[in-house]
Amino acid sequence: MTDTPGPGAAQVGRRVPRKEDHRLLAGDARFGADVQFPRIVHARMVRSPIAHGTVLRVDAAAARELPGVVDVVTAEDLPGDPHIPVRLEVAGTDLGERLQPVLAARTVRYVGEPLAVVVAEDPYVAEDAAELVEIEIDELEVLLDAGRAQGDDIVADFGLGYGDVDSAFEGAAHVIGMDVAVQRHSAVPMEPRALTVGYTHATGCLEIFGSTKVPAFNRQVLAGLLGVDEATIRMHAVDAGGGFGVRGEFYPEDFLIPWLARRLRRPVSWVEDRAEHLVAVNHSREQRHRIEVAVDDEGTILGLRDDVRHDNGAYVRTHGVIVPELTLAMLPGPYRVPAYAGRVRVALTNKTPCGTYRAPGRFEGTMAREQLLDLVAAELGMDRVELRRRNLLAREELPLTRAMHTLGTDVVLDSGDYVGLLDRALSRVDELGWRDLLARGRAEGRVLGQGVSMFLEKSGLGPHDTADVEITSTGRIRVHSGGTSLGQGIETVLAQVVADQFTVSVDLVDVVNGDTMLQPYGTGSWASRSTVVAGSAVLGAGRAVAERVRELGAQLLEAPPEDVEIADGEVRIRGAATNSRSLAEVWRAAQPGSPWLGAGEPAGLSARHRFSVDHMTYPYGAHVCLVEVDPGSGGVTVLRYLVAYEVGRAVNPALVEGQLRGGVAQGVGGALFEEFRYDESGQPQSTTFMDYLMPTASEIPPVDVVLCEDAPAATNPLGARGAGEGGLTGAGAALASAVSDAIGLPAMTGLPLDPETLVAAMARPATVRDRLRTDGIS
User: Where do contacts with other proteins occur on this chain (CB under 8 A)?
Assistant: 123-124, 127-128, 131, 273-275, 632-635, 672-673, 677, 685, 688, 690-691, 693, 695-696, 698-699, 754-756, 759-760, 763
Distance CA 202, CA 189 (A): 37
Closest to other proteins by CB, 128 vs 306, is: 128
Q: Which is nearer to other proteins, 67 or 151 (CB)?
A: 67
Q: How far is the CB of 136 from other proteins (least distance, A)?
A: 20
> Toward other proteins, which CB reaches closer, 491 or 675?
675
Distance CA 442, CA 18 (A): 42
What's phi and psi for 204, nearest 5 deg? 75, 20
At its nearest, how many Å lie between other proteins and the CB of residue 469? 43
Return the number of the residue (576 or 763) whose C-beta is nearest other proteins. Answer: 763
Q: Is the peptide bond before 463 cis (omega within 30 degrees of 0)?
A: yes
Contact criterion met (CB below 8 Å) for 368 and 333: no
Pairing mode of beta strands 268-271, 41-47: parallel
Nearest to 549 by CA among 585, 495, 499: 585
Q: State which residue, 386 or 679, has the beta carbon closest to other proteins.
A: 679
Which of 338/631 has CB closer to other proteins?
A: 631
CB atoms near residue 371 (< 10 Å) = 29
Of 81 and 756, CB closest to other proteins? 756
273 versus 547: smaller Cβ distance to other proteins: 273
Contacts of 578 (CB under 8 A, 6+ apart): none
- Cβ at position 671, least distance to other proteins in Å: 13
Residue 56 or 763 having the CB closest to other proteins: 763
Q: Using the 8-state DSSP alphabet, how is residue 85 labeled?
A: P
Q: In what order do the strands lie in the sheet with 703-708?
A: 447-456, 620-629, 636-646, 703-708
Taking the complex as a whole, how short is the minimal distance between the CB of residue 118 and other proteins, in angstroms? 13
Q: In angstroms, what is the minimal distance from the CB of 348 to other proteins?
A: 25
CA distance 443 to 683: 46
> Between 36 and 696, whose beta carbon lies closer to other proteins?
696
Q: Strand pairing partners for 59?
A: 134
Comparison of 681 and 685: residue with beta carbon closer to other proteins: 685
* Rounded least distance, CB 219 to other proteins, Å: 30
How far is residue 320's CA from residue 250's CA, in Å, rounded to a whole number?
12
Question: What is d(CA 26, CA 131) in angstroms, rounded to the nearest whole number?
Answer: 38
Q: Are 506 and 19 in contact (CB under 8 A)?
A: yes
**Contact by Cβ (8 Å): 590, 623:** no
Q: Please, what is the minimum distance in Å from the beta carbon of residue 279 to other proteins?
A: 13
The span from the CA of 29 to the CA of 599, in Å, is: 42
Q: Shortest Cβ distance from residue 215 to other proteins (Å)?
A: 27
The residues, any chain, with a CB within 8 Å of residue 407's CB and separated by 6 or more, are: 88, 322, 325, 326, 458, 461, 527, 616
DSSP category for residue 402: E
Q: CB neighbours of 77 closer than 8 A, spacing ≥ 6?
A: none
Nearer to other proteins, 299 or 732 (CB): 732
In angstroms, what is the minimal distance from the CB of 283 to other proteins?
A: 17
Phi and psi angles of residue 661, each rounded to the nearest 5 degrees, phi first: -65, -40
DSSP count for the chain of H helices, then E strands:
20, 28
Smallest separation, CB 280 to other proteins (Å): 13
For the CB of residue 698, give the shortest distance to other proteins in the complex, in Å: 4
Nearer residue to other proteins within complex by CB, 196 or 391: 196
Residue 127 Cβ, how far from other proteins at the closest point, in Å?
5
* End-to-end C-alpha distance for the chain, whole angstroms: 43
Residue 127 or 547 having the CB closest to other proteins: 127
Give the span between the Cα atoms of 16 and 506, in whole angstroms. 8
Distance of CA 253 to the CA centre of its chain: 21
- In the chain, what are the helix, strand and coil shares in percent, each to the nearest 5? 30, 25, 40
What is the nearest approach in angstroms of other proteins to the Cβ of residue 453? Answer: 23
The least distance separating other proteins from the CB of residue 634, rounded to whole angstroms, comes to: 7
**Beta carbon nearer to other proteins, 222 or 761:** 761
Distances in Å between the alpha carbon of 171 and those of 162, 164, 168, 297, 298? 17, 11, 6, 12, 14
Q: Which of 93, 156, 147 is nearest to 286 (CA)?
A: 147
**Minimum CB distance to other proteins smaller for 70 or for 546:** 70
DSSP letters of 569-621?
Answer: TEEEETTEEEEEEEHHHHHHHTSTT-TTS-TTSPSSEEEEEEEE-SS-B--EE
456 near 645, Cβ under 8 Å?
Answer: no
The DSSP element (H or E) to which 47 belongs, if any, is: strand 41-47
Q: How far is the CB of 637 from other proteins (least distance, A)?
A: 11
Return the number of the residue (120 or 708) whose C-beta is nearest other proteins: 120
Q: What's the burial of 109, exposed, middle or buried (CB within 10 Å: 0-12/13-18/19+)? A: buried
DSSP state of 673: I
Three-state secondary-structure class, residue 214: coil
Q: Shortest approach of other proteins to residue 629 CB, angstroms?
A: 13
Closest contact distance (angstroms) between CB of 686 and other proteins is 8
